[in-house]
Structure 1
Amino acid sequence: MAIARHPRQPELVDIPLEEIMDKYVSRFKDLTPDWDAFADANIDGYRRAQHRFVGAGASGKHEDSTIVPAGNFTLSIMLVPPGQANAPHTHEVEEIFFVLKGRCVVFIEDEDGNRLSSELGPWEMISCPAGVIHGYINQTEEDVYLQVMLGRGKPETAGFTDDSLFQNRERHLNP
Structure 2
Amino acid sequence: MTPEEMETRIVRYGDLKPCRTAFIDAHTPGSDQKENFTIIGGGVSESPDQHVHIKETPGFNIGAAGQPPKCRNSLHSHTTAEVFYVLKGRWRFFWGRWGKAGEMVLEEGDIFNIPTGIFRGFENIGTDYGMIMAILGGDDAGGGVTWAPQVIEDAADHGLVLGENGVLYDTKKGQSLPADVNPMPLLSEEELKAFPEPGNDAVVRDYVARYWDMMALAAGNPCKVIGENALLKDKPGFEVEFLTRGSIPDTAYKLNCHEILMVMRGHWKLSWTGGEKVLAPGDTCAVPPELEHRLEPSMSGEASLFRVMNTADPAGPTWIG
TM-score (norm 2): 0.43
- The answer to which structure, 1 or 2, has the higher relative contact order (CA under 8 A, 6+ apart) is 1
From the superposition, tell whether residues 142 and 60 of structure 1 become closer, same or farther in structure 2 (CA, over 3 Å): closer
Q: Which amino acid aligns with 1:142?
A: D
Structure-to-structure mapping, 1:3-152, within 5 angstroms: 17-18=1-2, 21=6, 23-46=8-31, 47-58=33-44, 59=46, 61=48, 62=50, 64=52, 66-109=53-96, 111=97, 114-152=100-138
Q: Distance in 1 between matches of 2:23 and 2:69?
A: 18
SS at match of 1:127: strand
Distance 1:34 1:63, change over 3 A: closer
In the aligned structure 1, how far is the partner of 2:63 from the partner of 2:12? 11
The one-letter code of the counterpart of 2:19 is: D
Contact 2:75 2:99 (8 Å CA) reproduced: no
* Alignment root-mean-square deviation, CA: 2.8
The unaligned stretches of length 5 or more in structure 1 are: 1-16
Q: CA deviation at 1:40?
A: 1.0
Deviation at 1:63, TM superposition (A): 6.1
Tell me what 2:145 maps to: 158
Question: What secondary structure does 1:88 align onto?
Answer: strand
Residues 1:128 and 1:92: Cα distance change in structure 2 (over 3 Å)? same
Which deviates the most, 54-63 or 126-135? 54-63
Compare CA radii of gyration and give the structure with the larger one.
2
Aligned residues with identical type, % of pairs:
23
Partner of 2:167: 173
Matches of 1:60 and 1:138, distance apart in 2 = 23
Give the deviation of 1:89 after TM superposition. 0.6
**Take 1:36 and 1:150, find their aligned partners in 2: how far apart are those partners?**
19
CA distance in 2 between counterparts of 1:101 and 1:114 reads 25
In structure 2, stretches of 5+ residues that fail to align are 170-321
Instruction: Tell whether the 8 Å contact from 2:21 to 2:47 is kept in structure 1 after alignment.
Output: no
Q: Which has the higher strand share?
A: 2
CA distance in 2, matches of 1:113, 1:106: 9
